[in-house]
Every structure is written in C-alpha cells, then in structure tokens.
Amino acid sequence: MPGARFHADGFQTLIASLTAPDSALSVTVHATVAHRIWLYEITMGNVGTPADLVSVYYIGQVTAPGTATAVTPTNTADNADQAARSVAGSNHTVEPTYVATIEGTGLRTPADGDLLRVPLNHRGTYRWVAPPGGEFVAPATTTDGFAGAADHASAVTDYMIGMHWVE
C-alpha cells in the first residue's frame, strides 16, 4: 500500500427529502491515472444550527463523482510530498453515481454498494477509524470511489462529511 495520506471535507445542505438526498463529499479515482484508494477515517455531523433531529448518514461506493465544488485534499503526512491524485468534491449539484440506487429511493434501503449507514442526532458527531488492513478499498478504475450523503424529511440545515484516505 502506498503511503501518501490525504484528507478532505465536504459540506451540503439537507433538502427536506427522504428520497433525493444531496451528497456532501465524494472522493474518487483520478479520471486518467488509475490508482487504488484506501479510506481509513470518516467523520460526520450536522453543522448548521442543529436541532434535536435524527438523520441517516450514508457512505457508499460510487462509479462517477457527479458535479461538485472541487476540494484540494490536504496531505496529512508530508506536505512536501506530491499532491493527491484522487479527486475530491463538495456540495454536489449533480449526484455521484452510487452503486446502490439512492436517487429516488433514499438512504434507508440496504443495497449492494453500501459501506456505512449511521442514524445520528443532528447535535451529535460520528467518527470511524479503520485499523491497518481494515480500510474501505476502491478499485484502481477511473472515477470509482466513495461518496457520502445524509437525509432528513424536514430539516434544511448544513451537514459535513470528512474523509481520510491513503493512496
């Protein structure tokens, strides 16, 4: 496993829908240079005046990143090292192509391509760390990778998902 470690955060506003969630962050393999991604840490929570409500937060496999605001990943291990080859995007306006169908279905139906699904109070935060060898792995196939979204039936507050990965 190569050793360059990176981090990116993504933000999004909940859109008061359980069937058409908007994604906050995607991390995908470079469009021309194929490389694997090992995702080893995820943080998430609601950041926009959170109320006592619960959202489902979802991390899934994707095959295309959709359209989003580009985020420059931070090299967390060695700033003198090369820049990330992975492509990170925040605040999606066109959803990533999830392996599991969530557009029109929502985040609450288990399906192939799911990686993590957590119901979380808006006033809470969640952090998951993988041990060495226990990371999520994305194949070295261009534009494959990971993305995260959250939903709520009525809230329209902002939420955040952060990912750390090795590539």
Torsional sign, CA 148, 151, 155, 156: positive
Which residues in the 9-38 window bind other proteins by CB under 8 A?
A: 34, 36
- For residue 93, the minimal CB distance to other proteins (Å) is 27
Check residue 66 and give left, alpha or beta (phi > 0: left; psi -120 to 50: alpha). Answer: left
* Number of C-beta neighbours around residue 79 at 10 A: 7
Least separation, in Å, of the C-beta of 14 and other proteins?
18
Q: How far apart are CA 165 and CA 41, in angstroms?
A: 7
Comparing CB distances to other proteins, the nearer of 20 and 99 is 99
Tell me if 132 contacts other proteins by CB under 8 A: yes
Beta carbons of 51 and 157 less than 8 angstroms apart = yes
Q: Does 127 bind other proteins (CB under 8 A)?
A: yes
Residue 2 found at the interface with other proteins (CB under 8 A): no
Stretch that binds other proteins, among 18-26, 69-77, 78-86, 123-131 (CB under 8 A): 123-131
**Cα(166)–Cα(130) distance, rounded to whole angstroms?**
12
Is 114 an interacting residue with respect to other proteins (CB under 8 A)? yes
Output Rg (C-alpha) for the chain, integer angstroms: 15
Cross-strand pairs, 13 = 158
Q: Any contact of residue 53 with other proteins (CB under 8 A)? A: no
The reply to whether 128 sits near other proteins by the rule CB under 8 A is yes
Q: What residues make contact with other proteins under the rule CB under 8 A?
A: 34, 36, 52, 59, 110, 112, 114-116, 118, 120-121, 123-134, 136-142, 144
